[in-house]
Structure 1
């Protein structure tokens, strides 16, 4: 694939607000990804295993917002017919797995960084989520 075509696709991604694009032409395949910077005081994200994938929801210190640290597909359970990791009203502990976000065939577990009660699940099973998409609200 020519560099000029790649640049055109990158500009199209920026214009449309996309964070990922995969193009297959003849025998070549190119995947473009970009991150969208957000104001630091407003949003905190983390890759699974780090300390900050939660944020206090705007206007309320009683809720923590769990946001997606990556672009991918949101799954509520470890397998298709398995029980979901958590449901509304469940009490969760720090370090407990809340869901999986699949990115590029890798299953990334998203864990809770604080104890609390699941008050809202903001996305549906199988939904594509962007970097920063709110996944859960946890009541402290």
Structure 2
């Protein structure tokens, strides 16, 4: 296998967050491995309000629905035995971390898009969420 091919696959591993890759061709087998950093990378997602979202019913107009922008595992706290980022009744400010969603071993922070009060946490800690799953309702 050529060095340029190995470099291409190493770059692909980094891009996809892979820690190992094994390739076999006519000349033999090459195994690429990389160490996982102690602190996983964090990506911050702001959940924008979209105009294509369905209009909420009159009784829910005072709520902002925070939905998952990705598929992954919902975590309410930064560590297993740590206190939750937010809980029902907490006031939140724009940009404040609400939760973490782990996707492909990357910890993605979900932040509040507006100020308000958490009226409901719609999912449980450790639950797998899909794109568009309602995570929180924030009262304006």
Q: Deviations over 1:101-139 (max 9, x none)?
A: 000000000000100000000000000000000000000
Report the counterpart of residue 35 of structure 1 in structure 2.
none
TM-score calculated relative to the size of structure 1? 0.62
Task: Give the superposition deviation at 1:50.
Answer: 4.2
Q: Deviations over 1:36-67 (max 9, x none)?
A: xxxxxxxxxxx844460687872122000000
What is the distance in 2 between the residues matched to 1:57 and 1:126? Answer: 30
Q: Which has the higher relative contact order, 1 or 2, with Cα contacts under 8 A spaced 6 or more apart?
A: 2
TM-score calculated relative to the size of structure 2? 0.62
SS at match of 2:86: coil
On the 8 A contact 1:68/1:133 being kept in 2, the answer is yes
Instruction: Give the paired residue count.
Output: 96
What is the distance in 2 between the residues matched to 1:136 and 1:57? Answer: 17
Which segments of 5 or more consecutive residues in structure 1 lack a partner in the other structure?
A: 1-26, 29-46
Which segments of 5 or more consecutive residues in structure 2 lack a partner in the other structure?
A: 1-21, 24-42
On the 8 A contact 2:76/2:125 being kept in 1, the answer is yes
Runs of 4+ in 1 over 4 A off after TM superposition: 53-57
What is the distance in 2 between the residues matched to 1:106 and 1:121? Answer: 22
What is the distance in 2 between the residues matched to 1:107 and 1:128? Answer: 14
Report the counterpart of residue 33 of structure 2 in structure 1.
none
* C-alpha spacing 1:53/1:82, structure 2 compared with 1 (3 Å): farther
What is the distance in 2 between the residues matched to 1:80 and 1:126? Answer: 10
On the 8 A contact 2:65/2:137 being kept in 1, the answer is yes
Report the counterpart of residue 112 of structure 1 in structure 2.
112
Please provide the CA RMSD for this pair. 2.3
